[in-house]
């Protein structure tokens, strides 16, 4: 299996509730790299790179998020990017 990258845009109550840090924790537990960034429109962008099954598990988690969040939508797109070496918060 080769590594691939998926970008997810998470909509709902996802800023100011620990969503980025919790996303990073989930990604790191799965051995993934990428980033989690707040967007100006209130969404969080999450880039997940690694083994497909691990990325899929984190995407399923994104629909739930941490306890204080309320996710209403997750939009995903496979992307071709230079693989990051770490998971960054932005």
CB 44 within 8 A of CB 63: no
| Residue 20 is among the residues annotated as catalytic for this protein | yes
Token pair for residue 9?
A: 């845009």
H/E element holding 83?
none
Q: Note if 38 is an active site residue.
A: yes
List 38, 43, 52, 57, catalytic entry: 38
Which residue of the set 13, 20, 37, 60 is catalytic?
20
Report the catalytic residues: 20, 38
């Amino acid at each position: 299996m080769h590594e691939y990258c998926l970008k997810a845009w998470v909509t709902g109550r996802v800023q100011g509730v620990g969503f980025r840090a919790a996303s990073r924790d989930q990604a790191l537990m799965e051995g993934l790299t990428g980033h989690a960034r707040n967007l100006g429109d209130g969404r969080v962008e999450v880039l997940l790179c690694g083994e497909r099954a691990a990325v899929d598990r984190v995407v399923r988690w994104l629909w739930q998020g941490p306890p204080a969040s309320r996710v209403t939508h997750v939009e995903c797109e496979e992307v071709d990017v230079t693989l990051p070496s770490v998971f960054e918060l932005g």
